[in-house]
Amino acid sequence: MHILFIADPLAGFKTYKDSTYAMMTEAAGRGHALSFGLAEDLHVADGDVAVLAQSLRLTPEEAVWYRLGEAAATPLTQFDAVVMRTDPPFDLEYLYATHLLNRAAERGARVFNHPRAIRDHNEKLAITEFPQFTAPTLVTRRADLLRAFVAQHDQAVFKPLDGMGGSGIFRVSRGEPNLSVIIETLTRDGRETIMAQKYLPAIREGDKRVLLIAGKTVPYCLARIPKEGETRGNLAAGGTGVARELSDADRRIAEALGPTLAARGLLLVGLDVIGENLTEINVTSPTCFREITDQTGFNVAGMFIDELEAAAGR
């Protein structure tokens, strides 16, 4: 099988914890051919969606862990599978990339996750489809509604709809003297919509990443525990990742959502769960493969490549 990975520049990978690298290593170990391309190099020529692709060979050297071939414009239909792993933010360029990838899929390319499904599942807004699993949540750009939400719930978490890694997240309390300026900053004076969620004290026990692969639940999650004095558990914000077996609530949420999301073309999904509450549905480039595998021995990348092979018909 020939797999194209569309991802961020390889030089920026932290291979000791990078999930895309884990996928690449597992695929190469099975004898699959690998290629690499950047989302910015997607283009349409004569009706075909192509990318400037380079053959990718992994090496055992830590300093330079890859070798790339010459770049050549290659239609996406020439690959057995195209794995989209570009990190957010989900800005206009990311949106345009999903449109191009969708056109390629219409012409027969096998793209994972399906670009239409990525586009249709904003990682914050997607939880609103499943209110039975969520804490009280408000989506708005109106300052009066945001103030009322904080007053009602005493404490709330504000977050932008296009962030990642905990960026732009504020925890606010009733009586917060800077509440108005926080709202003005996040909503850009009422021009941008944000999400507010009731603050969940269970964050102290970790913001759990629960992985779904082809609708099936990885049996371990990664609880990302905030550092002292911090509200955010994100690893990028200094949280500590501890692998755990799934709780009954984790499994109940995952088993309820898994088949639905898989049927929409989402091969890989990362659910964020705090306590017993679903807080996000990550579909762009879910992570935590390496941490779960290193701590439990469960081969998450192996499960992913198994399902990628099945989905690609190889």
67 an active-site residue?
Answer: no
Cα–Cα dist 173/165, whole Å: 22
Catalytic residue among 124, 198, 208, 290: 124
Catalytic residue among 250, 280, 291, 307: 280
Q: What is the largest CA-CA distance in the chain?
A: 60
Which of 299, 290, 165, 279 shows the shortest CA–CA distance to 222? Answer: 290
At 91, list the tokens: 């800005």
Catalytic residue among 85, 208, 232, 290: 232
Catalytic residue among 272, 277, 290, 307: 272
116 an active-site residue?
Answer: no
314 an active-site residue?
Answer: no
272 an active-site residue?
Answer: yes
87 an active-site residue?
Answer: no
Q: Which residues contact 89 (CB under 8 A, 6 or more apart)?
A: 162, 163, 164
At 241, list the tokens: 């990742």
159 an active-site residue?
Answer: yes
Catalytic residue among 209, 234, 277, 291: 209
Catalytic residue among 85, 110, 119, 159: 159
At 63, list the tokens: 């300093």
Within its chain, how far is the Cα of 280 from the centroid? 9
Strand partners, 52: 73
Catalytic residue among 85, 110, 224, 290: 224
Catalytic residue among 102, 234, 277, 282: 282
Assess contact for 210 and 221: CB atoms under 8 A: yes
Residues catalogued as catalytic: 124, 159, 209, 224, 232, 272, 280, 282
